[in-house]
Chains A and B, each alone.
Chain A
């Protein structure tokens, strides 16, 4: 935005919202909204507490394992679908379906089958994250320019060489994009899983703080969570930009 000829940076907008939060909090518009300053103080206070750290650990554990599984299954499946018409025809409709269907509805099923522990949450993460990874990997593989394939063949590259030196890199931007989206979705997945199961991780935290109406701590945990999700997304976007330089000029 340009005011009086000067570009106002986006950061200033963030500061405006922060100021608004502080003001509304100080005015005690609602007991649910503490001022930003007390939330920031609470953030520093709860971060080292055992209850918070164990919640963080539990959440991170399910998150990381879930993502590893999603990538370990999703990328190969995407590659398979990208290369094989038959696999594509069989799986694609289902992948599309799972992508948009409210898989949250399946969480009760998972709870029933696998109990109320980490396994359920890990599976929820996988449910949320995997499909977009599959889809974007598939897109990346399908988008490999035929001329690159022909080039590899004409220079006598073996299948493994071709994959390692050419195809992987050609598809990488899309794969990274898919992983980034998958990771973002998995953050939502892990939280939704925990909210429904409620006795672990951040789900438990929110319930604990909430039931005691410790709004400062509640918001502090919320802000930490949101900040983490945001930083993760931006970090992956940065990584994606690192390979972006060649993405536009492939083929």
Chain B
């Protein structure tokens, strides 16, 4: 199905930008290289002229501060208040404790999703019957709001670590599988022919040519999967039982401690972005050194 081919999210720029930015489900611009990428969000951030960047962040903080001082809602703390609350949560270790709990289903789920997902996606790309069997499942999965399955998971698995890990898995796996599948399918024909012409066995061609050529898109899928995993983890906590960060958020809200609530939310967003940037760093240093040179 043509739409499946185009529907690959390639995340870059902190997951979400792909092949030339965001090919997710579709159109890169220009419509050529599925393998083109833009550097990550933070990287773009810090490679721009410094002044504009610092100004941007500062402007954001000032804007927050200013808007919050307008008494539209008592539930909108200022930037300063939020920072104070954040500092308090860091110093009494409640933040780290919360993350320790939240990150468990997230890391486990992501690990499972990554290993299974990449394997399945690559198999789909290389083995005919696997593709035939798995494609309908993922065509539906990519468009469907998988979060709707969460109530079902609660019924089936209760409210513990298993349920939360499963939530993370179903949120992260589709995009990882699809990216891997498309990545393998888009390995440059010329390179594959070259491998065959120099007497590479099928196994050699797969491991030495197809997989390295596919790795940028696969990694983009992993970054997107991580973003989805974070969403899954947060949803799991807000919907199942609030522990960890979810607990910080809902508890703070229930006692109207809005600075703490905002601080907790800010912290998880920052952590997720840092995590995704970290994945990109691993990719560039370990797998495709020439991209580092390209920067």
A and B touch in the complex (CB under 8 A): yes
* A residues apposed to B, CB below 8 Å: 1-2, 8, 10, 12-14, 16-17, 30, 32, 89-90, 92-94, 96-97, 99-109, 112-113, 131-132, 135-136, 139-140, 142-143, 173-174, 176-178, 180-181, 184, 187-188, 190-192, 195-196, 202, 206-207, 210, 213, 218, 222, 225-226, 229-230, 232-234, 237, 240-241, 247-248, 250
What are the nearest 9 A-B pairs in CB distance? A177-B27, A96-B41, A139-B29, A1-B132, A99-B16, A191-B145, A100-B15, A233-B143, A177-B26
Across-interface contacts of A222 in B (CB, < 8 A): 148-149, 152
The answer to whether B30 and A113 have CB atoms under 8 Å apart is no
Per the CB 8 Å criterion, the residue count for chain B at the interface is 80
**CB nearest to A2 among chain B residues:** B128
**A-B interface pairs (CB < 8 A), number:** 223
User: What is the bound-complex CA distance between A1 and B258, given in angstroms?
Assistant: 56
User: What is the bound-complex CA distance between A237 and B2, given in angstroms?
Assistant: 9
B172 to chain A, nearest CB (A): 12
Beyond A90-B52, A187-B145, A237-B2, whether A14 also contacts B136 by CB under 8 A is yes
The answer to whether B144 and A226 have CB atoms under 8 Å apart is yes
Across-interface contacts of A176 in B (CB, < 8 A): 27
User: What is the bound-complex CA distance between A237 and B143, given in angstroms?
Assistant: 12
**CB nearest to B224 among chain A residues:** A100
Q: Which residue among B31, B143, B149 has the maximum number of chain A CB atoms within 10 Å of its CB?
A: B143
**CB nearest to B56 among chain A residues:** A90
Across-interface contacts of A232 in B (CB, < 8 A): 143
Partner of A104 from B48, B231, B262 at Cβ < 8 Å: B231
Partner of B132 from A10, A103, A108 at Cβ < 8 Å: A10
Across-interface contacts of B3 in A (CB, < 8 A): 233-234, 237
A197 to chain B, nearest CB (A): 11
User: What is the bound-complex CA distance between A146 and B14, given in angstroms?
Assistant: 29
**CB nearest to A226 among chain B residues:** B144
**CB nearest to A198 among chain B residues:** B239
The answer to whether B132 and A8 have CB atoms under 8 Å apart is yes
Given A113-B76, A139-B21, A191-B148, 20 more A-B residue pairs with CB atoms under 8 Å apart are A10-B135, A10-B136, A30-B156, A89-B52, A101-B227, A104-B231, A109-B261, A112-B75, A136-B22, A139-B29, A143-B29, A188-B147, A192-B145, A192-B231, A210-B151, A210-B152, A226-B143, A226-B145, A230-B139, A234-B3
User: What is the bound-complex CA distance between A210 and B148, given in angstroms?
Assistant: 12
User: What is the bound-complex CA distance between A171 and B28, given in angstroms?
Assistant: 12
